[in-house]
A and B are shown apart, each in its own frame.
Chain A
């Protein structure tokens, strides 16, 4: 049954039925009640979640205790993937994903994914390619927005922007 759910996810469309079954071997169903954290900001996010029903909120701490709502995702209409960066990277999650009601999901743990990579399984590398593409598109948009923000700030004639902008720019990698 879980496998059928996986089939409905656009993210996994590129896999053959057989490859989808390979992922399901290492996957497990997960259920979250309202308020529970699926991914916690700052913690090493260790799994990819395919949300198959329910709603989640994505929040990020900006100043001290204040957190900002970044997005609301409704998985009832269409299953959605969160936490994909955690499969490839080592850094902690940059935002919290919290269940807004009861949420059903399929969890693909990083260990299962890494095992498939070390076994040289094509399904895992195909997933990597998709994740890399998603990340590259987001990075491009973010970089463009950051450049726009710098230009906006410059137009406002701020005086102490130099250091701030330099810091921003040093973080830029190719």
Chain B
């Protein structure tokens, strides 16, 4: 019998009532990853959302051919796979365990089903995820503004024509 996960002290579950925590615990499976193990491989499936309760994970993406860029190191408690949950179940970056990692996995399909059925427990979980995405969106917007400003400054100096892709970046703006 898998051990019932304790969801106390994990920020993601703070708003859930004891009954709602039980409801979530029922669909969660404990998972552990050894240091160096892949949780997701870039371009591969992202069918499970993991609530990481101990350890640290690293995020890498191949931005330029043959080079892996380190994007972030994230300490527990955290959640990974939330983008796969809310968009397509395909990993945009690799996530590996930096140290031994303990986690609780929730199958994406099962969570989506709960959301479709308006499970308040599942909606509360996604509300917390949404709050972190809103902040991330704000930071991404600023980064993109930085790219555009830089391109336009260069454009003012020389006869480069960065308009094509600065327009493309602008077209995807979130406000």
Contacts and interface: CB of A to CB of B under 8 A. Distances in A.
Give chain A's interface secondary structure class: helix
B173 A169 contact: no
Given A60-B173, A142-B172, A129 B146 contact: no
A24 to B, nearest CB: 19
A148 B144 CA distance: 12
B120 to A, nearest CB: 5
Given A139-B83, A140-B92, A167-B146, A145 B64 contact: no
Contacts of B92: 140, 143-144
Contact of B59 (A58, A132, A142, A174): A174
Given A125-B120, A147-B63, A63 B126 contact: no
A128 interface: yes
B139 to A, nearest CB: 5
Interface residues of B, number: 59
A139 B71 contact: no
A133 B143 CA distance: 21
Interface in A21-72: 39, 58, 60, 62-63, 68, 70-71
A169 B172 contact: no
A135 B137 contact: yes
A77 interface: no
A168 B170 contact: no
B51 interface: no
B174 A129 contact: no
A164 B61 CA distance: 17
A94 B120 contact: no
A62 B149 contact: yes
A39 B174 CA distance: 13
Given A62-B145, A125-B124, A129-B126, 15 more contacts: A70-B170, A85-B137, A85-B175, A88-B133, A89-B134, A89-B137, A94-B138, A95-B173, A135-B174, A139-B140, A142-B174, A146-B147, A147-B63, A168-B147, A174-B59
A163 B145 CA distance: 16
B137 A169 contact: no
Nearest to A161: B150
22 contacts: A60-B170, A85-B174, A94-B141, A95-B173, A120-B15, A122-B118, A125-B127, A126-B118, A129-B130, A131-B130, A135-B133, A136-B83, A136-B133, A139-B140, A140-B87, A142-B174, A144-B92, A147-B61, A169-B71, A171-B139, A172-B72, A173-B72
B157 interface: no
B174 A138 contact: yes
Query: Most A CB atoms within 10 A — which of B63, B80, B152, B175?
Result: B175
